[in-house]
Amino acid sequence: MLQSYKYTFSGHDSFQCRLLWLKKGYDYLLEGRSFNADEAPVILGVGNNMVRAIKHWLRAFGLLDEATDQPTQLADLLFGYRHEGAPFDAFLEDNATLWLLHYQLVRTRFASTYWLIFDEFRKRKIEFTREDYGRFIEQKGREESFTVSPKSISEDFGVFLKMYHRGTTERGAKAKDREDSFSGILTELDLVNSFSRKNEDGKSEISVYVITPSDRDDVPADWILYCLLDSPSIGMSVNLETLENDPGMPCAVFGMNRAGLLRKIEQLVSEHDFLIYNDQAGVRELQFREKPADKYQILRDYYASVNV
């Protein structure tokens, strides 16, 4: 039986999330304000459609509670002072924070394109075009009885590219770095690359995109542990094949290969005495002697080590 999800391919008004939007939206909420307020565009200094986009991205990154329209605990830890002193990385200066936000974007499944591409689509198509993705969504719609217009699919894919791909910005120039206010906040991760090839007519060229698995040396090993503690389906052990192949697991989310995964497991086992890696008699699994009760402690420890 197919798993049913709510699919969302809009809500961002064709705006990718920009570097300071998440903190700006968080600070706005802490002032007790509503994104639906008439004065929201003036206070935030953006247009009405950008107000909607900021709210959309806060929800998509798991930083805004859908039920209360208030910041989540993770948002407080990253950006705020409400509970535990100084924020972890309010201005997103550490690439590790961008990897954490990328994980959140895939994990929440609020914005469908991101989890569909990383968890499922790229396994079917190592190299893909905008049209390939459109056909994939149309097929999923037939299988799971939902409809979305080709225009919405194409626009959402365009926003995905602005979020991740070091391509042309809205200004029509190459994005040099993430300080460009028009760049998507996740372009620094270098997850999505492209090349050109001849179209079927043999004359024009089309862009082909690829998410190539690599060691992902810049992904902290502790993010693998956080991923496991954040997954309700993971018990006191998890086998290597699950970590490599299952949706929502490290290799899918981070585009990581086996060599990179094994190195991070080795690092985790050496640093945490509550972890064991068993590789005997055909059994390859990461085991918990005991499981930490608070997944956020993993984040606290990481940021404490880098902010000394």
Question: 3-state DSSP call for residue 176?
Answer: coil
Q: What is the pLDDT of residue 86?
A: 83
Q: Which two tokens stand for residue 207?
A: 């862009």
Residues 155 and 258 in one domain: no
Q: What is the pLDDT of residue 182?
A: 65
Q: Residue 231 and residue 245: Cα distance in Å, rounded?
A: 15
Residues 146 and 171 in one domain: yes
Buried b (16+ CB within 10 A) or exposed e, 10-32: bebeebbbbbebbbbbbbbbbee
Q: What is the pLDDT of residue 263?
A: 97
Whether residue 6 is contained in a domain is answered as no
Whether residue 118 is contained in a domain is answered as yes
Whether residue 10 is contained in a domain is answered as no
Domain termination residue (choose one: 169, 189, 212): 212
Whether residue 11 is contained in a domain is answered as no
Domain termination residue (choose one: 188, 212, 236): 212
Q: Residue 200 and residue 306: Cα distance in Å, rounded?
A: 51
The structural domain count of the chain equals 3
Residues 265 and 207 in one domain: no
Whether residue 2 is contained in a domain is answered as no
User: What's the domain range around 257?
Assistant: 221-306
Residues 134 and 195 in one domain: yes
253 within 8 A of 119, measured Cβ to Cβ: yes
Give the model confidence (pLDDT) of 41-85 as tens digits: 999 999 999 999 999 999 999 999 989 999 999 999 999 866 567
Q: What is the pLDDT of residue 143?
A: 94
Q: What is the pLDDT of residue 204?
A: 83
Collect the ranges in the chain with pLDDT lower than 50: 1-2, 168-181
Q: Which two tokens stand for residue 242?
A: 């699950």
Question: What is this structure's pTM?
Answer: 0.92
| Tally of CB atoms within 10 A around 184 | 25
247 within 8 A of 112, measured Cβ to Cβ: no
Residues 30 and 110 in one domain: no
Written as one letter, the residue type at 169 is: T
Beta-bridge mates of residue 71 = 64
| Tally of CB atoms within 10 A around 133 | 22
Residues 168 and 268 in one domain: no
Whether residue 166 is contained in a domain is answered as yes
Residues 58 and 104 in one domain: no
Question: 3-state DSSP call for residue 71?
Answer: strand
* Domain CATH for 225: 1.10.10
199 within 8 A of 205, measured Cβ to Cβ: yes
Nearest Cα residue to 22 out of 44, 49, 47: 44
Residues 152 and 207 in one domain: yes
Domain termination residue (choose one: 212, 244, 266): 212
Whether residue 5 is contained in a domain is answered as no
Residues 63 and 123 in one domain: no
Residues 226 and 295 in one domain: yes
Q: What is the pLDDT of residue 6?
A: 86
Whether residue 122 is contained in a domain is answered as yes
Residues 200 and 232 in one domain: no
Residues 178 and 225 in one domain: no
Q: What is the pLDDT of residue 181?
A: 45
